[in-house]
Structure 1
């Protein structure tokens, strides 16, 4: 005979104890969620769980429901809980979300059905009603349906959230949980919906979690007790130095502590300081706490590893453009393997006289006195673009900063047989009455796509003879799509439309320093092609 249950009863603390140990500093949220989903407590129809990333929303919900639905934890309780978790990140469209939901519920209940398609919310409601009402269960049985990251669902209709919240009105045994980052007010169009907030961890909580869950190995020349006493103080120093800039979440804070710990304890290993000299250790390692770029493993160069430093100096950074056709990626690979024209062409007299000798395309710049190198990321990545994309970027910069009436003087060869460069509009013996601001210091102006194409066609035979003088091919469309996806070219005016429309207006979105580096990577001094 089943035991009689009281009207209000929470599960045994022995069931929740493993969850408290796995997720410290979240006891209040765990107990609140348990009360809202447990059949004998205060089960709700809809629950909204919200908070920023890496606060334990999904992990705690999954672990709690798995523990409550285990029959081993409740052998003498007549009620039970079944649950299904649907991740919106795995669903491409709303229809995909509906079909994935039916599949997960069917998998949990062990129900077989011939229905394979679910195109709208009406079919979803009908299928869930058939499956949940057709299962034999006790009076206190509940099914919990979790939509994880539902606020980031792609191609979701605006009625999806309110409609999903109405499922529990049609199916009495259903509890729906919506896990979101920042829910909008009245997003479910329903009053009195419980909202459970997972706030950011405080400093004490972060230090406590990392100190308990990640105890480092004993530092040489110290005891285990000294290492355990030094580790929390070190975590507090990392929090004060990097939590606002580079380690805002628990995973990033944990990685920061693990990356900086060997460097922080290096003086102890060398025998210069002891484990109790925390102030001296902090001063000796202050360089690691002042620059968050030391946390990036891709730009770290150890002082005692000259081979790695040499490889870092000779390695070029590749640039992957999401959504770009495969031909662009092939061009990137070829451009990375082919030496640039800046290394083979002889610079002009103007460049040799006025430009200091330096390695413009060097991917890294060493910082004196520090054990790491900093990349000039913007220029380095852009110099890894295909030649066609770089030429288009330079043509767009000239179109944005030169007036249209100067194009015939700069790029037309019908009169002199050669292209003029800087100063073509000023007479030989005539001086300007007033000084003008350099065009490169002014903001970029909008230009028509057809004008950029005309400049590109006029200069590509001189700047990149290997491209030839044929008609524009598919590489041109790929290059324009690449520059637009990287936000190097920004469309002006109404959004949408064909990006290759020659009447559309664009504006370049890079500065002078970047464009000068891109131009020198192919042996072009862009300043010679600007007219003030």
Structure 2
């Protein structure tokens, strides 16, 4: 005697053949969806990208509807095709009406309450036929744009209001409180393993190579797919469609020695050595993407010894160069000299910027400003000091009008370009974060730019570089240093 919980063997045979390595998921879905076995109200289907969730659910519903005639009907709503929440609601109502061949035009549906009312009115036939079942699938519902926070809990309660309704949620990663109801059944689609990848790809081997039998070609293809998986599965082919595309792209190049007669199909090791360059060059897989030049990246030019200043002067944008000079001045000038150097009102409307502003002496050799006798090393030759980010930006704003031609008063404030320039300098390690707690230290070490105005920084370039950068802008940095 056949149990009512067993499906006919031939019902899912074609589906299992089309989707190998997913037999357990297909049987579980069929059991929880079929109206004559163990249908459930809500079902969560989750897994990473390209694991067969949407395709299997769609084909399974089509197969079950063809087998059960009028007992099962379904509609699939794809969130990727819905721009707003209102679009999602109205599309759901429209697809349900199309599945039921409802010729009336769908009404406006802007809220969850209106959606519930429309679906209740459309699916009221289920009260008259308790054996029928309607399956409503929400594909990618966790990525729905402009979704209200109560969307998933409200959709999960539709089956409590509408009899004989099964709601399937296809998502990537479910959270513990996903629907705020008793835990519904979950079906996990795990990523394919290496053995499963090889088994799936081996089902459709390519045509036989010249002077090679089909069996030898199939064996070579199996070993080739394993090699492609080992070399490209993590960096470039993490999904089954992508891995299949990589194999199709590399196969003609890999088997070229066999076609030319220089190697045999059984000499896999020699073929692998001859084609090892193809497994290391991503441009073969993506010919439309130009690879970045490796001969002169900006970070390496910054570290070069001879022409580093000239390279920075050429490659850095004007705002970044200006901020780099301001950072150098903030590192090598004491804060007490900022008024004398950068303030217009401090010197009667004209900035005094010749070296030795604070270190000059009176004619008779006395006075508070007399140069200290123990200082014998120029300030620019000493190591850079620590400055506050707000001070560097203030120096940038104060010198903008004089250093940048065409800059007017009122237009030299801090904008998005300044923040982007600071982030660029920090990522290139031209500016280094040296304080501000563990979070700030971690940001500085990782090349990020925490734009806290109280954060402490230090310039990371020498005098020769900063002098070349300044001269590229027509600025003699030495005139702005206090000796």
Distance 1:459 1:192, change over 3 A: closer
Q: 1:54 aligns with which of 42, 50, 53?
A: 50
**Is residue 2:153 matched to residue 1:162?**
yes
The residue that corresponds to 1:430 in the other structure is: 376
TM superposition shift of 1:86: 1.6
TM-score calculated relative to the size of structure 1? 0.63
The structure-2 alpha-carbon separation of the partners of 1:64 and 1:417, relative to structure 1 and needing over 3 Å to count, comes to: same
Rate the CA distance shift 1:114–1:284 in 2: closer, same or farther, 3 A: closer
**How has the CA–CA distance of structure 1 residues 235 and 133 changed in structure 2, closer, same or farther, with 3 Å as cutoff?**
same
Is this contact kept in 1: 2:71–2:133, CA < 8 A?
yes
Cα distance between partner residues in 2 of 1:480 and 1:391: 11
Residue 237 of structure 1: aligned partner: 227
1:116 to 95, 99, 108: 108
Distance 1:186 1:29 in 2: 23
CA distance in 2, matches of 1:255, 1:523: 49
Could you say which residue in structure 2 is the equivalent of 1:331?
Answer: none
In the TM superposition, what is the alpha-carbon distance from 1:512 to its structure 2 partner? 7.1
Unpaired runs of 5+ residues, structure 1, are 1-5, 302-311, 318-350, 363-378, 421-425, 494-502
Contact 2:109/2:115 (CA < 8 Å) preserved in 1? Answer: no
Alpha-carbon offset, residue 205 of structure 1 = 0.9
| Counterpart for residue 91 of structure 2 | 100
Tell me what 2:440 maps to.
none
Whether the aligned pair in 1 keeps the contact of 2:153 and 2:180 (CA below 8 Å) is: yes
Q: Which residue of 2 aligns with 1:38?
A: 34
Local SS of the residue matching 2:98: helix
Quickly say closer, same or farther: Cα 1:227–1:62, change in 2 above 3 A.
Answer: same
Say whether 1:285 aligns with 2:281: no
Aligned residues: 427
Aligned to 1:198: 189
1:508–1:206 CA distance, 2 compared to 1 (3 A): farther
1:451 to partner: Cα distance: 5.4
The verdict on how the C-alpha distance between 1:391 and 1:437 changes in structure 2, with shifts beyond 3 A counting, is closer
Cα gap change, 1:401 to 1:156, in 2 (>3 Å): farther
Give the aligned partner of residue 29 of structure 1. Answer: 25
Alignment match, 1:304: none
Measure the CA separation in 2 of the matches of 1:138 and 1:277: 65
CA contact (8 A) 1:392 1:452 kept: no
Q: Distance in 2 between matches of 1:392 and 1:148?
A: 51
* Alignment counterpart, residue 469 of structure 1, candidates 388, 407, 417: 407
TM-score using structure 2 length: 0.69
Tell me, yes or no, if structure 1 residue 355 matches structure 2 residue 307: yes
Alpha carbons of structure 1 residues 233 and 129: separation in structure 2 relative to 1, 3 Å: same
Other structure's SS at 1:200 match? coil
1:16 aligns with 2:15: no
Aligned to 2:218: 228
2: distance between equivalents of 1:475 and 1:63? 60
Task: Quote the residue 1:67 is aligned against.
Answer: 63
Query: CA–CA distance in 2 between the matches of 1:203 and 1:525?
Result: 61
Instruction: Determine helix, strand or coil for the equivalent of 1:212.
Output: coil
Residue 393 of structure 2: aligned partner:
452
The CA deviation at 1:271 is 3.8
Alpha-carbon displacement from aligned partner over 1:390-415 (angstroms, at most 9, x marks no partner):
56875897699788837678878945
How big is the shift at 1:23? 1.6
Three-state SS of the structure 2 residue aligned to 1:275 is: coil
Distance, in Å, in 2 between the alignment partners of 1:219 and 1:508 is: 66
Provide the secondary structure at the position in 2 that maps to 1:54.
coil
CA–CA distance in structure 2, aligned partners of residues 227 and 11 of structure 1: 38
CA RMSD of aligned residues (A): 5.2
**What is the CA deviation profile of residues 469-519 of structure 1, one whole-angstrom value per residue up to 9, with x for unaligned ones?**
2467799967469779999899x99xxxxxxxxx9749899x979xx9xx9
CA distance in 1 between counterparts of 2:329 and 2:310 reads 28
- Preserved contact between residue 211 and residue 232 of structure 1 (Cα < 8 Å): yes
1:370 is aligned to none
Unaligned runs of 5+ in 2: 298-302, 345-349, 357-370, 428-432, 438-450
Match of 1:91 in 2: 82
Question: Is 1:127 aligned to 2:113, yes or no?
Answer: no
The answer (yes or no) to whether the contact 1:36–1:43 under 8 Å persists in 2 is yes
Q: Could you tell me how far apart the structure 2 residues matched to 1:127 and 1:484 are?
A: 54
Q: Per the alignment, in what secondary structure is the counterpart of residue 282 of structure 1?
A: helix
**Residue 360 (structure 2) aligns with:** none
Q: State the SS of the aligned residue for 1:354.
A: coil
* Contact map agreement 1:207 1:235 (CA 8 A) in 2: yes
The CA distance in 2 between the partners of 1:358 and 1:273, in whole Å, is: 52
The whole-number CA distance in structure 1 between the counterparts of 2:425 and 2:16 is: 46
Rounded Cα–Cα distance in structure 1 between residues aligned with 2:140 and 2:425: 27
Counting only pairs closer than 5 Å after superposition, residues 344-423 of structure 1 correspond to structure 2 as 354-355=306-307, 405=335, 414-415=350-351
Partner of 2:172: 181
